[in-house]
Amino acid sequence: MATGALPGFRDVFPDALVRRRRIFAAWREVAARYGFEEYDGPPLEPVELYTRKSGEEIVEQLYRFVDRGERDVALRPEMTPTLARMVAQRAAQLKKPIRWFSLPQLFRYERQQRGRLREHFQLNMDIIGEAGPLADAEVIAAAVDIVRVLGFGPGDVRARISDRRVLAAALAAEHQVGPAELPAVLAALDKFERAPEAAAAALERTLGGGRQGRAGRLLDFFAGLADPGALLALEAAAPLRECLDALRAMGLGGFVEVDFRIVRGLAYYTGMVFELFDAARSLRAICGGGRYDDLLEQLGGVNLPCVGFGMGDVVLGELLGERDGPPRAEPAVGVFVAVVGEADRPFAIALAHALRERGVAVEYALKRQALGKQLELAASRGARAAVVLGPDERAAGEAVVRTLASGAERRVKITDLEKDYVF
Amino acid sequence: MATGALPGFRDVFPDALVRRRRIFAAWREVAARYGFEEYDGPPLEPVELYTRKSGEEIVEQLYRFVDRGERDVALRPEMTPTLARMVAQRAAQLKKPIRWFSLPQLFRYERQQRGRLREHFQLNMDIIGEAGPLADAEVIAAAVDIVRVLGFGPGDVRARISDRRVLAAALAAEHQVGPAELPAVLAALDKFERAPEAAAAALERTLGGGRQGRAGRLLDFFAGLADPGALLALEAAAPLRECLDALRAMGLGGFVEVDFRIVRGLAYYTGMVFELFDAARSLRAICGGGRYDDLLEQLGGVNLPCVGFGMGDVVLGELLGERDGPPRAEPAVGVFVAVVGEADRPFAIALAHALRERGVAVEYALKRQALGKQLELAASRGARAAVVLGPDERAAGEAVVRTLASGAERRVKITDLEKDYVF
């Protein structure tokens, strides 16, 4: 028997590819509406590109190896370091803000569990060179518009937005959390919803003093974040408020809620962070992103602020699957050209090619077959119509067009078929 | 500075991606016309999938390594073994002939030379389950139609077709070359055009007897293949003649010439083989393919005849480059929405989103900027038009639409802009 695919990798049959193509089309359509240009980079990169600045989880799960030239290389786990390199190469020439997107396949060597994959495709959309909150609103709006294009409304998908600058300001003012402690406190907050006990233990380890001390007060602060009102009124929240206003002006306010419990794992975010979730919260995040104003300088040596997000094909596919059921193959054939006898074949081939020149998806039998068998193949392909060429019709410069759903037939001039006949 | 891309890998900037996208669009358009369905598979596969049946060159150049689970794995160098596995999984359910295509990125660890890459994208189109020559014609026609869609004619691109069965018949009848010697003789013929001395030496090694013996007579036979007439008249050439008739019926005869010196390197071809070349022969082959009736059984355990080809993006890109010059970025923005003052901004954002809902590619300034600066950004994006919102016009429910090429301006109702105004 054939060697199977590696664990965590997918053989994508045409029926499943229909769904991926639908997702890709939504990604590209919205990116185009928003005036983004597409770029791409290598799926294999030097390990060094990731060990310097990527999040810890990403480095732990690198799909890495030593190549035949003794280089430490990795299948790319994320696109941002490649983006940073590319922007650095052309930073001087590119008109800011740079609005770029890409659809890379990404890889991670994660322990196999519950059908988690080791590869997926991920839309990356980034605005580079603009620090203001309208850029934040722009990428959040694009993410929301993608799920809208796929037919989901605010009852299906929710966007949760936070801003690390607001949290930092509140933590500094109310809990004396300085820049040195902030990452550990944010990491604890990131755990708080899923695993409150682990978050508490982490806080105690970091801050000392037990539940009665600062750790306990911070846990109360975390719990209080369920109501975002107080923090949203802070001066540090002015950019976030402007971002929300813009989303409302676009008519997307119904999708959005402020939730300061959203941290996003990656260490490199510096401001607004956001996630899209299914409303029932039964799946992982549909997308996540935020502002990372320092990363490009650290990675690529150019000091440009950035905001962007990544949206994978897997959760989006699950969401479509919950609503629409398993993906179904689409008919690949529009018109089937059939022959009565072998003498008709050269004419059938010529007609088939003329129809293809018109852009019609055409198939015909590649071997000698009875007309009934040919029509059976046509039906199994889901063709709308069959064109039957026989000696009598040909003598009159005509062919029989049979609508396969109804069985209705009519004679049509071959010159009309070749030109603009609508099947 | 940023870590550079690995040797042989490409950072693809938006201008270069325009060209790749054009090639992909031509591939998908023709595949659709011909009624082919798209599939995909993993870019990483078990090494075993290739060491069993791929050509020697492919195995030598495998981009292989040992993964963290101690598996011998390789970045896929070709798609056919994956295709064989997938077809084997569903052989019973799939209606024959199977018409499938894919656009995989492929990898090889080749010594770096003259800008040769270690990755490229390759269209794979295959018909599985049909042994007759009309299937051969179908895939050759699709390959030719792709270069036609890209604007090339028979003066630019030539298809050269051969059939190993015809060569085998002639070699057996005239030179007593049996199945055991045939692979070595075909390998020598494959070298004959590029390196006649190496071909001669290989023949002498294989057959013995020096230039005066069988090796010498075979070299004369090779030289005589420049005129295909005699072989084309053989009974073994009946399928090839039928394939050529079909290509002529499609109106593609002008692209095609029979050339029995075409062998194609891969050992697994069993019948018709073909290549597309630029007419000047200054580049490598644009595409190559043929019939491989035994491979699926060897690889996947299902006995189904196959015919197909691979067409890479690199040579096709070079050909487009020779004709069109370097690729140019396309305007990503159709309409730029500008504001006179900050009070206009919420209305501008609302209008921008309404235009995006119509499918228009829209950008607006993400920060406070003088109108002149905004129009400058609009022009640098290549936008067709700018919509300028100011307090006076807004009071009248209108905006100014400025055509950027001419500078012509007119006032238009905002409700018309949101609905169906043509810019």
Beta bridge partners of B120: B106
Q: Classify residue A179 by its DSSP letter.
A: T
In the predicted structure, residue B90 carries a pLDDT above the cut 90: yes
For the residues A383-410, what does the mean pLDDT come to? 96
Within 8 A of A7 by CB-CB distance, chain B residues are 69
User: What is the pLDDT, as a whole number, of residue A264?
Assistant: 86
Within 8 A of B64 by CB-CB distance, chain A residues are 68
Q: Parallel, antiparallel, or unpaired for β A398-403 and B37-38? A: unpaired
CA distance A421 to A355: 10
Longest dimension (CA), chain B: 98
Longest dimension (CA), chain A: 98
User: What is the pLDDT, as a whole number, of residue B1?
Assistant: 47
CB contact under 8 A, A14 and B353: no
Contact A134, A243 (CB under 8 A): yes
CA distance B50 to B78: 9
User: What is the pLDDT, as a whole number, of residue A112?
Assistant: 64
What phi-psi label fits residue A251: left (phi over 0), alpha (psi between -120 and 50 degrees) or beta? left
From A124-133, A156-165, B17-26, B45-54, the region with the lowest mean pLDDT: B45-54
Which residues, including other chains, have CB under 8 Å from residue A363's CB and lie 6 or more apart?
A: A332, A333, A336, A337, A352, A377, A378, A381, A383, B34, B35, B99
CB contact under 8 A, B11 and A86: yes
Instruction: Name the band, by pLDDT with cuts 50, 70 and 90, for residue A1.
Output: very low
In the predicted structure, residue B298 carries a pLDDT above the cut 90: no
For the residues B92-110, what does the mean pLDDT come to? 95
Query: How does pLDDT run across B348-363, given as a tens digit for each residue?
Result: 999 999 999 999 999 9
For the residues B265-290, what does the mean pLDDT come to? 92
Nearest to B49 by CA among A10, A13, A4, A11: A4
Token readout for A250 is: 């676009």
Query: How does pLDDT run across B118-149, given as a tens digit for each residue?
Result: 999 999 999 999 999 999 999 999 999 999 99
For the residues A19-34, what does the mean pLDDT come to? 97
A1 Cα to chain B: minimum distance (Å)? 6
CA distance B56 to B35: 33
> Number of C-alpha atoms within 13 angstroms, CB side, residue B279?
10
Nearest to A265 by CA among A87, A61, A111, A127: A61
Contact A131, A305 (CB under 8 A): yes
CA distance B400 to B388: 5
Quick one: angle between helices B214-224 and B196-207, nearest 10?
Answer: 140
In the predicted structure, residue B2 carries a pLDDT above the cut 60: no
CB contact under 8 A, B37 and A49: no
DSSP H helices, A65-212, are 80-90, 133-149, 164-175, 182-192, 196-207
Of A66-80, A231-245, B285-299, which has the strongest mean pLDDT? A231-245
Token readout for A228 is: 């975002």
Query: How does pLDDT run across B210-235, given as a tens digit for each residue?
Result: 777 888 999 999 999 999 999 999 99
Grouping H, G, I as helix, E, B as strand and the rest as coil, residue A27 is helix
Which of A22, A33, A63, A373 to mutate to test binding with chain B, by most B CBs within 10 Å of its CB?
A33
Compare CB distances from B301 to A1, A36, A38 and report the shortest one's residue: A1
CB contact under 8 A, A44 and B107: yes
Domains detected in chain A: 14-41+79-324 (3.30.930.10), 335-419 (3.40.50.800)
A229 Cα to chain B: minimum distance (Å)? 23
Nearest to B261 by CA among B190, B197, B203: B190
Which residues, including other chains, have CB under 8 Å from residue A276's CB and lie 6 or more apart?
A: A143, A144, A147, A157, A158, A159, A160, A285, A286, A287, A288, A311
User: What is the pLDDT, as a whole number, of residue A60?
Assistant: 85
A215 Cα to chain B: minimum distance (Å)? 39
pTM of the model: 0.94
CB contact under 8 A, B246 and A349: yes
Within 8 A of A36 by CB-CB distance, chain B residues are 332
Phi, psi (rounded to 5 degrees) for A111: -55, 135
Size of interface A-B (CB pairs under 8 A): 258
CB contact under 8 A, A42 and B9: yes
User: What is the pLDDT, as a whole number, of residue B114?
Assistant: 59
Residue of B nearest to A377 (CA): B95
Which of A40, A67, A96 to mutate to test binding with chain B, by most B CBs within 10 Å of its CB?
A40
User: What is the pLDDT, as a whole number, of residue B205?
Assistant: 87
Which of A9, A10, A11, A111 to mutate to test binding with chain B, by most B CBs within 10 Å of its CB?
A11
Compare CB distances from B33 to A300, A346, A359 and report the shortest one's residue: A359
Cis peptide before B183 (omega within 30 of 0): no
Instruction: Name the band, by pLDDT with cuts 50, 70 and 90, for residue A205.
Output: confident
A156 Cα to chain B: minimum distance (Å)? 20
Report the 10 Å Cβ neighbour count for B419: 10
Compare CB distances from B367 to A134, A300, A356 and report the shortest one's residue: A134
Grouping H, G, I as helix, E, B as strand and the rest as coil, residue A66 is strand
Compare CB distances from A65 to B1, B66, B105 and report the shortest one's residue: B66
CA A227, chain centre distance (Å)? 30
For the residues B167-175, what does the mean pLDDT come to? 95
Within 8 A of A252 by CB-CB distance, chain B residues are 353
CA distance A112 to A109: 9
For the residues B45-50, what does the mean pLDDT come to? 93
User: What is the pLDDT, as a whole number, of residue A271?
Assistant: 96
In the predicted structure, residue A118 carries a pLDDT above the cut 50: yes
Query: How does pLDDT run across A267-306, given as a tens digit for each residue?
Result: 789 999 999 999 999 999 999 999 999 988 888 778 999 9
Distance in angstroms between the alpha carbons of the first and the last residue of chain A: 44
Within 8 A of B54 by CB-CB distance, chain A residues are none
Contact A212, A205 (CB under 8 A): no
Instruction: Name the band, by pLDDT with cuts 50, 70 and 90, for residue A113.
Output: low
Which of A9, A10, A12, A13 to mutate to test binding with chain B, by most B CBs within 10 Å of its CB?
A13
For the residues B94-98, what does the mean pLDDT come to? 96
